[in-house]
């Protein structure tokens, strides 16, 4: 179920500098889907890509994709991504992987926060998401 046409993206509200690779405002109507932060753990709970931000980002986005699918959603439905990253120097690698999953012409709103650490020291990033789905037909 995709409600892409129901989402409005405002890349740069009046008086706000445009973002690089994100939209300042995404709005729409429908059912909110909140995804818990995903980390680079595989289905067995083992870390994927220790020390490799691109490999970890790929696992994180695959986990997000699977969680979205469980809700009947895709990355086209995502309105907000929040990145918790242990080193902002990893952001370019994370964004490169992210761009394989999202529509870069209509990116979601985003926030990136550098953190001192995550719940396991070998994890480099965690990403949570919010998506918006159309209301089910009556």
**What does the alpha-carbon distance between residue 120 and residue 53 come to, in Å, rounded to a whole number?**
15
Q: Is residue 15 part of a domain?
A: no
Provide the domain limits for residue 54: 4-10+20-133
**What does the alpha-carbon distance between residue 10 and residue 22 come to, in Å, rounded to a whole number?**
10
At 3 the pLDDT is 43
**CATH code of residue 87:** 3.30.1330.40
Number of domains present in the structure of the chain: 1
Quick check: helix, strand or coil at residue 134?
coil
Q: What is the pTM assigned to this prediction?
A: 0.90
pLDDT string in tens for the chain (138-residue length)? 444 447 888 988 999 998 888 989 998 889 999 999 999 999 999 999 999 999 999 999 999 999 999 999 999 999 999 999 999 999 999 999 999 999 999 999 999 999 999 999 999 999 999 999 988 776
Q: Is residue 125 part of a domain?
A: yes
Does residue 4 contact residue 97 with C-beta atoms inside 8 Å?
Answer: no
Q: Is residue 117 part of a domain?
A: yes
Q: Is residue 138 part of a domain?
A: no
Helix axis angle, 91-98 to 53-70, nearest 10°: 40
**What does the alpha-carbon distance between residue 75 and residue 106 come to, in Å, rounded to a whole number?**
11
């Amino acid at each position: 179920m995709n409600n892409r046409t129901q989402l409005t993206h405002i890349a740069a509200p009046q008086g706000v500098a445009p973002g690089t690779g994100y939209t300042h405002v995404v709005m729409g109507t429908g059912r909110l889907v909140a995804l818990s932060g995903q980390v680079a753990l595989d289905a067995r709970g083992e870390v994927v890509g220790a020390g490799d931000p691109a490999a970890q980002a790929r696992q994180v986005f695959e986990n997000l994709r699977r969680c979205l699918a469980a809700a009947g959603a895709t990355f086209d439905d995502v309105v907000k991504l929040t990145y918790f990253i242990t080193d902002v120097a990893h952001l370019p690698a994370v964004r490169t992987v992210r761009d394989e999953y999202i529509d870069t012409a209509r990116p979601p709103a985003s926030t990136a926060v550098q953190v001192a650490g995550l719940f396991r020291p070998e994890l480099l990033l965690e990403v949570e998401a919010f998506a918006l789905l159309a209301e089910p037909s009556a």
